[in-house]
């Protein structure tokens, strides 16, 4: 969906900013907010661009640079750490060939760190787009990535 269309669904009131940014980013194939997106949101809500930029850069779920088609967010919080999240991270780096904050050359995956995902009962955990994977082991990682590749 075009950003203009998304904007029209909301009233011109500043408290809709976060929701608008979420929707625009979700609709973006590269999961990010471009400068033009920020400007059109600012114009629509009659807010200064610098304010909108400030909001977008404050919240960790908004990205101001293009990302891969699948967002892999690996939990780095203490409960997952206790159960071996560092092994999972290492394995993902190995399998994907990129580090945290980076996107694979085929633009299929971006690897990110996240704080607790609220599924510590099945730690260690990660989230790929909207789906949560729990009870992870290093052995399972390659298979999960393969499945995601094939699903494209």
Partner 1 sequence: MNKKILKRFDSLRLEGEKARSNVIRPGSTIIQVGSATCENAAGAREIREEFRKHIASSGRADIVLHDVGCTGRCSLEPIVGILRPGERPVKYQQVSREGVHRIFTDHVLHGQPVAELILDGTQKSGSRYEILFCRGERCGNLAARGLQARLRERLEQRGVGADVVAVQGVNFADMCVGESKFQGGHFLVRPGNHLYRVASDADLERFIDEHLLADRPVQELIVQEQPIGQNFFELYGDISFFNRQSRIALRNSGIIDPTSLPEYLNAGGFHSLARVLAAGDPDGVIAELSASKLRGRGGGGFPTGSKWQMARKEPGGEKYIICNADEGDPGAFMDRSMLEGDPFSVVEGMIIGGFAIGASRGFFYVRAEYPLAIERIENALAACRKHGLLGEDILGSGFSFDLEIRLGAGAFVCGEETALIHSIEGERGQPRIRPPYPSQSGLWGKPTVINNVETFANVPVILEHGAEWFRHIGSDKSGGTKVFALAGKVNHTGLVEVPIGTTLREIIMEIGGGCPKGKRFKAVQTGGPAGGCIPATHADLAVDYDTLTAMGTIMGSGGMIVMDEDDCMVDIAKFFMKFSADESCGKCTPCREGSKRMLEILERITAGEGREDDIAKLERLGLLMKRTSLCGLGRAAANPVLSTLRHYREEYAAHITEHRCPAKRCAALVRYSILADKCVGCTACARNCPANCIAGAAKKPHAIDPERCIKCGRCFRVCRFGAVERN
Q: What, of partner 1, ligand FES, none, does residue 93 touch, CB below 5 to 8 Å by kind? A: none
- Cβ burial, residue 9 (10 Å; 0-12/13-18/19+): exposed
Part of the chain binding ligand FES (CB under 6 A), chosen from 10-18, 87-95, 119-127, 142-150 = 119-127
Q: How far is the CB of 91 from ligand FES (least distance, A)?
A: 16
CA 146 from centroid of its chain's CA atoms: 20
Largest CA distance in the chain: 51
CA–CA gap between residue 127 and residue 71 (Å, rounded): 8
- Please choose, from the candidates 117, 118, 124, 116, the residue with its C-alpha nearest in 3D space to the C-alpha of residue 140: 124
Backbone phi and psi for residue 30, each to the nearest 5 degrees, phi listed first = -105, 15
68 or 124: CB nearest ligand FES: 124
CA–CA gap between residue 112 and residue 100 (Å, rounded): 5
108 or 116: CB nearest partner 1: 116
Q: What, of ligand FES, partner 1, none, does residue 133 touch, CB below 5 to 8 Å by kind? A: partner 1
- Specify the DSSP class assigned to residue 121: G
Among 77, 89, 103, 110, interactor with ligand FES by CB under 6 A? 77
Part of the chain binding partner 1 (CB under 8 A), chosen from 14-22, 32-40, 98-106, 140-148 = 14-22
Contact residues: ligand FES, CB under 6 A: 75, 77, 79-80, 116-120, 123, 125
Please report, as ranges, the residues that interact with partner 1 according to CB under 8 A.
13-19, 21-22, 45, 54-55, 58-62, 76-79, 81-83, 87, 90-91, 94, 114-123, 125, 127, 130-135, 138
């Amino acid at each position: 969906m075009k950003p203009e269309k998304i904007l029209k669904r909301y009233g011109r009131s500043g408290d809709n900013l976060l929701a608008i940014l979420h929707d625009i980013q979700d609709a973006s194939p590269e999961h990010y907010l471009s400068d033009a997106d920020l400007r059109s949101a600012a114009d629509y809500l009659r807010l200064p661009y610098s304010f909108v930029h400030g909001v977008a850069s404050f919240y960790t779920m908004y990205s101001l640079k293009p990302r891969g088609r699948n967002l892999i967010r690996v939990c780095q919080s203490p409960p997952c750490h206790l159960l071996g999240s560092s092994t999972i991270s290492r394995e993902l780096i190995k399998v994907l060939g990129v580090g945290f904050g980076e996107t694979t050359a085929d633009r299929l995956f971006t690897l990110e760190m996240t704080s607790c995902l609220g599924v510590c009962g099945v730690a260690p955990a990660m989230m790929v787009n909207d789906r949560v994977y729990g009870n992870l082991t290093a052995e399972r990682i390659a298979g999960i990535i393969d499945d995601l590749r094939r699903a494209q």
